[in-house]
Amino acid sequence: MRCSVTRGIGLTLCKAYYGTVLALGLGYAFFTNPANFAYDLSLIWAPCAMVVASLSLWLLHKKARAARFVSPTGTLVAATLAVLDMVAFNAYGVLQPQMGTAVVNGLVAAGLVGAACTALYLAFAPQPRSLLTVPLNMKPGAESGHSWDVPLRKRVRTKAFWRDLAIYFTSFAFMGHWAEMLFCLGIAAGIFAGTYDFREVMLWHQWLFPYLAEAIAMLFVVVLLHPFKQWLLRKLHGNVPLALVISIVLIALVCTSIDFTAGMICNQDYTVWDYRDLPFNFMGQICLQNSTVYTIACTLLVWVVYPAMDTGLRRMPRDMANKLCISLVAVFAFCALLHFLYVNPSGHLTLGMVMLPE
């Protein structure tokens, strides 16, 4: 027993290192004003460090053999990117006035030493070779009870359902933002009516700003709209045209409701969008054109995109899907804390979208 405990101390210290990196990354996002977060190399190394720390903790917890390669490699890559950002992109100059020279120097030195020691230990020490021996599960991700033929009330009891739900939520928080950018480019090209402003920081510059309305809409696709579509097809004995029409009506109601609710919560002063000049608008928060576009896009999600994604996830090796989920959640957590919460030097907390000057 004593020998086993002694042999596990090194891995415990590795877990402590990655846990510290994860905590520091979240703290950095929490206390950093988005206006001071440069969308250059910082956008690569900070989420990269979050992903490496999260994956490493999970791999070490599973005693996975892959930790002996993935964790050292990822750790060194993240550390190298951080040093390049400090030196070449003046991240050091940004942090120094906020935290002080001694604190920044101490954190940098401790981070580099910790990264080097952890990477070398996991890659070359004999203990990880004897303790990290479990292979990753490379079987397809489909699990019993995790298919469309099973009622939703039973599917929610599987871990795979919640893992996939997290993947959809986090990925569509970013993809929804990029779709909004494409829509505004369509306005600029004259395809759609409305106004656009290329100076809007949140939309055009902070392109990893999570759009929660689109993420929530994807949840509705998974738990309501797609199951309803499957139910319709069964009840209508495969009558696709009629099922499609009824599905579109429900999708239009859901999309318009989400858009209006989001507007009433975060856009009462019309700083995010303003539809008052567009025809067939209601309170300037929703309009016929946008509701139609959202309905068409969501119908494609329900009938084409989501089925393809879900099929792909169920064919993906289980632990590959788990790693994808952990990575997306880590990046989303960093970006959400960065953009939705901010504690300024005086201790005042800004909750909600941190709006920046143009």
Band (pLDDT 50/70/90 cuts) for residue 144 is very low
| pLDDT at position 5 over 60 | no
| pLDDT at position 192 over 90 | no
Per-residue model confidence (pLDDT) at position 197: 74
Cβ within 8 Å of residue 304, ≥6 positions away: none
Helix 240-266 × helix 288-300 angle, to 10°: 130
pLDDT per position as a tens digit, 235-286: 998 899 999 999 999 999 988 998 898 888 878 888 777 888 888 888 888 8
DSSP state of 36: G
Per-residue model confidence (pLDDT) at position 139: 80
Band (pLDDT 50/70/90 cuts) for residue 352 is low
What is the mean predicted confidence (pLDDT) over 337-342? 83
What is the mean predicted confidence (pLDDT) over 57-82? 93
Token pair of 241 as six digits: 């045209």
What is the mean predicted confidence (pLDDT) over 133-141? 84
